[in-house]
Structure 1
Amino acid sequence: MASSIELVENTQSLETNNDNQSQQKLLLIENDHYLSKTFLGNRNLSGYQTTKIRTGEGLNEELKSYLVGNRPNMIVVDIGFSDSAQLLIIRDLRALFDGLLVVVSNTNSEQEQLDAFKLGADDYLCKPIDSRILMMRIEALFRRQNNTVNQVELASLTMGDICLQPKSQRCFINSEVVKLTTFEFNLLKSLIEHQGKILSRDHLYNTLLKRAYNGVERTLDVRMSQLREKLTVGGMKNNQIETVWGQGYMFHNITA
């Protein structure tokens, strides 16, 4: 099915306690109008900047381009009466998108919910959905995300023999400073924050270089090699940056 993109709602909330909503961009992915009707039917939900994309089972070029160019804060995807193939859209979205991801389904299956969370969903809702409950779930996810971001920005990140100080952008290995470029620091920070998880090249190009990976460019690989060399020379022994063939990179604490 060909996709189409349309603005569902882009209005400022009238209530002062919802001022932050107007700064949050939501993307609805669906094959019918269930999600958009739910959003439009709730005055509190309509304050978000909401865009709808109708698409088939996979991610086409139009949707990929939208994700890279617009960077929504949250995606709500309706997988309908799903099967294992349909669920893989979550995996495909996670290759390009690291924000909040909510899955809506017609199927109340425990196994499907487990599979959805394993693939990267942050929440799972079964139809029919009360719009008030949907609003509260969305607000709760944004609230937890904001709390986590604030804690990460203020705190040091320590993993094995590496310690990062995000506020000053300094890296320490066994208490000794290792000089990194801004890109190298942000790359290492992203790897540590997602330690034990594979970060795809699509994801890293999108979040760090702000462009889509074209499948042949070697910029990230070269910089990853330079980062590894600096960490090794600096004395890193308790951690490892693994190249997962055909998928991306993963940060390990090898002493855990």
Structure 2
Amino acid sequence: MPSSIELVENTKPLETNQNKQSSQQLLLIENEHYLSKAFAIQGTNLGYQTINVSTGEVLSKELKSHLVDSRPNMIVLDIGFSDSIQLLVIGDIRVLFDGLLVVVSNKNSEQEQIDAFTLGADDYLIKPMNSRVLMVRIAALFRRKNTKTNQVALASLTLGDVCLQPKSQKCFIKGAVVKLTTFEFNLLKVLLEHQGKILSRDQLYNTLLRRVYNGVERTLDVRMSQLREKLTLAGMKKNQIETVWGQGYMFNNISS
């Protein structure tokens, strides 16, 4: 049975809404304007800024640049009747984007849903769907994201010898304050939040420097070395920042 989205006459792609002053920017990645129709049905009073782009089995140069430069709050990806190759686009997006990611698909496949979530999706929706349901799901994801962000901002992050207080931007090693630059603090915070997981240079450059790693620049390596030296001199022994050659960096708790 056709969905209400598919019956809409206005099929013009929805471009950026410049008149709305919203803090939530949505990037709609699609090839058939299905998502654009959904937003057109609901009207422009939702307060979201939306940008529509298309992609294939690999990310275009335009899309990569947009992910780094514009840093949308959410991506809604319509993979249509996808195959396993196209689904890998999710993993490529996750290298450059750590925000909310919703996948919309024509296939009601249990394995595809598992693969999508494994690659980094936050939600998986099956077409056809009611446009109001799509909007409610998007709003719910933003609510959960904001609640989690507020909780993290107020909490201390502690592991082994290290304790970070994000709100005051203070770092403690064994209870003593360690003076870090803003970049060093943010670098350590990202490593601590992902402790036990390898973070690639691409991910760190995008998160901390908001640009794509060019494969040559050594800025991150120098800053990482300086951070390690400060933490070691401060007496950190229960943790280590490990270099995983060819992959990136990982923060570990080595205490017994």
Contact 2:14 2:40 survives alignment (8 Å) = no
Contact 2:199 2:248 survives alignment (8 Å) = yes
Matched, 1:136 2:136: yes
Taking a change above 3 Å as real, the CA distance of residues 77 and 244 of structure 1, as seen in their structure-2 partners, is farther
State the one-letter code of the partner of 2:153: E
Distance 2:122 2:39 in 1: 19
RMSD: 2.0
Report the secondary structure of 1:196's partner residue: coil
Matched, 1:10 2:14: no
Distance 2:245 2:170 in 1: 30
Distance 1:84 1:195 in 2: 30
Q: Bigger CA drift: 194-203 or 124-133?
A: 194-203
Task: Give the alignment of 1:58-137 within 5 angstroms.
Answer: 58-137=58-137
| Alpha-carbon offset, residue 244 of structure 1 | 2.9
| Alpha-carbon offset, residue 240 of structure 1 | 2.6
Question: What is aligned with 1:197?
Answer: 197
How many residues align? The count is 244
Contact 2:39 2:131 survives alignment (8 Å) = yes
What is the percent sequence identity of the aligned residues?
A: 74
Distance 2:96 2:215 in 1: 13
Task: Give the alignment of 1:163-242 within 5 angstroms.
Answer: 163-242=163-242
Provide, for residues 109-141 of structure 1, a one-character-per-residue CA deviation record: whole Å limited to 9, x for no partner.
222212211211111111112211111111111
**Structure 2 unaligned residues grouped into runs of 5+:** 1-12
Distance 1:196 1:80 in 2: 35
Matched, 1:28 2:35: no
State the one-letter code of the partner of 2:58: G
| Structure number with bigger Rg | 2
Question: What is aligned with 2:149?
Answer: 149
Distance 2:140 2:174 in 1: 38
Taking a change above 3 Å as real, the CA distance of residues 232 and 7 of structure 1, as seen in their structure-2 partners, is farther
Contact 2:102 2:123 survives alignment (8 Å) = yes
Provide, for residues 153-186 of structure 1, a one-character-per-residue CA deviation record: whole Å limited to 9, x for no partner.
1111112221001122111112122221110100
Question: What is aligned with 1:42?
Answer: 42
TM-score normalised to the size of structure 1? 0.88
Report the secondary structure of 2:221's partner residue: helix
| Alpha-carbon offset, residue 46 of structure 1 | 4.7
| Alpha-carbon offset, residue 108 of structure 1 | 1.7
